[in-house]
Every structure is written in structure tokens, then in C-alpha cells.
Amino acid sequence: MDKKLRFNSAAIHGGQQPDKAYGAVMPPIYQTSTYAQTTPGGHQGYEYSRTHNPTRTALERSIASIENAKHGMAFASGMAAIDTVLKLFQPGDEIISTDDLYGGSYRLMTKIFQKYGLKIHFVNMGNVENFKPLLNNKTRLIWIETPTNPMMKVVDIHAITSLGKTHDVLVAVDNTFASPYLQQPLNLGADIVMHSATKYLAGHSDTIIGLLAVNDDDLYEQLAFIQNSGGGVPGPMDCFLALRGIKTLHLRMQRHCENGAAVAIHLQEHPKIEKVYWPGFVNHPNHEVAKKQMKAFGGMLSFVPKGGDLATAKEILEKFQIFTLAESLGGVESLAGHPASMTHASIPKEIREQSGVVDGLIRLSIGIEDVQDLIEDLDQAIA
Ligand SMILES: *Cc1c(COP(=O)(O)O)cnc(C)c1O
């Protein structure tokens, strides 16, 4: 299909073609490690499944299509995708990363890659002025996450990609929280988009998988070489599940956003709630940026009950009937998390509290249930 598709059509058809063998409309789960060759080197583009697999190719074409990229790549997890990006660099190279980073990315950068000589700076990306003292001739990468976890800060992607271009620095965006339905970082000038497709893209809390999308051929070749050398590849079943998830991404995201807005507004007005973090509020510090770069405000939000203490948060989390207390996000079902003891437990209390992650903070991933049921569940838990 050569025609440039609109987003909802691309989610279903982008880069897809009926399977060559029997015309299967969905790509078969090619559960094979290797491929027959007619003569040495005489294969049809597939020789060993660490390098390529047809089910994986179908997913890679899909993510390329919905991120408006030339190349897509699928990985064993979101972390395997980030690991591959960081291996582009040499000892002495410097990376500027957001100070409100996903815990797993923070751990990978500080506990693994610093050991191999990468220098990582963490900065508040709310203001491009903050980058100026850090940019130098060793800076190779700026790593953005927006909206951030769990404080829902929003970073101006275009402002930072412009900065990256003037300093000849690659810009990568972890687009997990927004999904390409809400924002497409390559269109805003980014070089690399990364997804934990475990979350919204696969969307059903049933697989761990990561994705990258890039435009530059040379960058793609380097990443493919690193991936094939290291081997962080997904199995065909996981690729199939992610691909199936993507086909309803637009429908699910629409409902995640509607439900997210209704829950955010309800909590904001609740007498027992102190603070709600959600980029759709006009008084959110980066509301204008969110409006400019996102189609809507997503299904993630965080809140602090009055008092903001651990006991109150625990009581609410234990009383939930529909929300499930669990790690992760972006699935059809609503989840609740406690960042201070779960995702951010490894960050010292003073540091996490400076960024707003107090003991009472609760993070919600709003699912696609009837929103009135979610609101009633919140009300009975908070009461
Ligand atoms: C979950 C997550 C990751 C890591 O992805 P996995 O699929 O769990 O390896 C990276 N970034 C963000 C923002 C995430 O939420």
C-alpha cells in the first residue's frame, strides 16, 4: 500500500500485506529459528531469527508507519531497546537525560553504562536554558521522556530537538506514556523514538516488548548491528501480540483519554484530595506545551490525598475493588501504583520528595472501563 494513510488506518494497515504463503490477513506466528536455503546464501531475506523474523518484520513495519518513520525495530523489552541505543556511544561520550526519568532507564544509565565510561547528566528539561552549561563537544545524546512518570511533567520536544540540531546532538524520545496516537516525536524533529510497547501499544498487559523508530539509514544500520550482536530480540508470539494491540490503539487511546480527563476532574474537585497531577489542567505548569504537541492528555495521572502520608495512601490502595494495585500501565484495565514504594523505591527519600514523589502519592493508569465504575471505586476507597 503506497498511499499515505491517516493515523487510524495506519494503525490497522500501515506497512502490512497479506502473508505470502496462504494470504493470511494477520501475519502467522513464525515460530522458527532458521530458514531453508536453496544454495549457500540463497534465502528469501530471512536466514536466522535473531537477525530477522517475518512476524517481527510485520510489527517493525507497523511501528514505522504509525511513528511516521522509515525504519522500525522490535526488541525483547523496552529496556533492551534503550540498551541498544546507549551502545551507540564510546567511553567519554556524554548524555543529557531528564531528571524525572523512568526508574529502569535511570538504573541502566547510572549502574551499567556509567561503568563503561558514559557520562550522564540529569537535568530539569522544563527550560532549555538548563542545557546550556552541559552541552559540549562530547555531548552525543539528549534523552527525553514526556509526559514523565509519575509527576506528569511535560517537556517541549520541538524546543529540545532544535537545540540538538544546532549542537549536532542526537535526540531520543521515550514515547511510552503518550503513544504515537498522542504525539509523534520524529515529526517534531527527534532522531529516535523508543517505546515500551509492553504498555499502550500492546495494550493488554500480556507481553513485554520494546520498539524503536528512526529515519536515518546509517543510524538504523548501527542499531541493527548492535541488536543482532547483543541479541535482545522479541519472540514471534510477542510480536504478534503487539501487532494485534496496535490495531486498536486509536480506539483504546480515545477512551483512555476520555476516562482520564473525567477521573482527573473528579479527583480535583474531591474534598479529600490535596493535589492532582494531569497535563490537561490549565494550571499544569506545561499545559500549553502539552496542548501544542499532544492530541489529548492521556490516561495517566497521579494524586495526593489530604495529609499526603503513607498510611492514607496504603488504605486507599488496599480498598480498591476495580483498580488493581500493580506495576505497569497502559493496559485496558485500570491500575494503581504507589511510586514511593514501587517504581521509585530505589531513589533516596529526600531526592524523590524534592521532585514531588511523596509517600502519599498514588499513580493511576486509567483503563477503558465504564468511567462511572472507576469514579465510584475511587470514591469508596478515598472515603
Ligand atoms: C515500562 C517502561 C520502560 C521499560 O520498558 P519494559 O518493556 O518494561 O522493559 C521504559 N520507559 C518507560 C516510560 C516505561 O514506562
CA distance 66 to 295: 14
157 pLDDT exceeds 90? Answer: yes
Please, are residues 118 and 86 in contact by the beta-carbon 8 Å criterion? yes
Q: Tell the residue nearest (CA) to atom 4 of ligand 1.
A: 78
Q: Compute, in angstroms, the gap from residue 39 CA to the centroid of ligand 1.
A: 42
Q: List the catalytic residue out of 199, 295, 352, 363.
A: 199
Round to the nearest angstrom and report the end-to-end CA distance of the chain: 54
Beta-strand ranges (E) seen in the chain are 71-75, 94-98, 119-123, 139-145, 170-174, 192-196, 210-214, 273-277, 300-305, 324-325, 335-337, 362-365
Mean pLDDT of the chain: 96
270 pLDDT exceeds 90? Answer: yes
Q: Compute, in angstroms, the gap from residue 34 CA to the centroid of ligand 1.
A: 30
* Residue 351's pLDDT band (cuts 50, 70, 90): confident
196 CB near ligand 1 (under 6 Å) = yes
Query: Model pTM?
Result: 0.97
What is the maximum alpha-carbon separation in the chain? 74
102 CB near ligand 1 (under 6 Å) = yes
Q: Tell me the pLDDT tens digit for each residue of 207-257.
A: 999 999 999 999 999 999 999 999 999 999 999 999 999 999 999 999 999
Q: Tell me the pLDDT tens digit for each residue of 76-114.
A: 999 999 999 999 999 999 999 998 889 899 999 999 999
CA distance 50 to 93: 29
Ligand 1 atom closest to Cα of 329?
A: 15
330 CB near ligand 1 (under 6 Å) = no
368 pLDDT exceeds 60? Answer: yes
Strand 300-305 and strand 324-325: the pairing is: unpaired
Q: Tell me the pLDDT tens digit for each residue of 254-265.
A: 999 999 999 999
Q: List the catalytic residue out of 19, 35, 50, 119.
A: 50
- Residue 27 is predicted with a pLDDT of 95
Domains parsed from the chain with CATH numbers: 7-246 (3.40.640.10), 249-382 (3.90.1150.10)
Average pLDDT over residues 330-353: 90
Which residues are CB-neighbours of 261 under 8 A, at least 6 positions away?
Answer: 278, 280, 296, 297
1 pLDDT exceeds 60? Answer: no
104 CB near ligand 1 (under 6 Å) = yes
Q: Tell the residue nearest (CA) to atom 6 of ligand 1.
A: 78
